[in-house]
Amino acid sequence: MSPLHPSHEANKQMLALAETVQLSEWKEYAESTGCLSVRELLRRAATIETLLQERSWREGLLDANGGVVDDGLSGESPENQSAIRVMREIFYGAARLYLATVINGPYPRGESLLIIIVLSYGT
């Protein structure tokens, strides 16, 4: 697999990042004009969270059933497979962290941000 041809999973992560950027811009505009609807913010964020949760749900289901995750890397060398998996984890964690920051604001001690930081990057 070439970096120019990302997997379906990588496409979803990039889509989630792009959607989060758009949500951040929408929120900033709504705040600046004094018409931010928290309900609408949460509705929009929920669609992005659903996109990100598909990965966790699918991998959890496969792990629970002893399945093997086909991540589309069978044609790559072991070194490339490892590097690609690490990059996927980085983008996944970054997307989750960025979305939580957009939703909750710059409050690093907030519970949802702390959970994402610990799960993604350790203590």
Quickly count: other Cβ atoms within 10 Å of residue 23's Cβ. Answer: 19
Q: List helix spans (H) across the chain.
A: 8-32, 38-64, 78-104, 111-121
Number of domains the chain contains: 1
Per the domain annotation, does 28 fall within a domain?
yes
Is residue 58 domain-resident?
yes
Q: Is the dihedral of CA 29, 107, 59, 79 positive or negative?
A: positive
Q: What is the pLDDT of residues 7-47, one digit of tens each?
A: 556 677 888 999 999 999 999 999 999 999 999 999 999 99
> For 25-29, which contacts have Cβ atoms below 8 Å and span 24 or more sequence positions?
27/102
Domain that holds residue 15: 8-121
**Is 3 part of any domain?**
no
Confidence of residue 3 (pLDDT cuts 50, 70, 90): very low
* Sign for the pseudo-dihedral over CA of 60, 62, 67, 69: negative
The tens digit of pLDDT for each residue in 46-96 reads 999 998 888 765 555 555 555 555 555 566 677 777 777 777 788 888 888
> Can you give the pTM of this predicted structure?
0.69
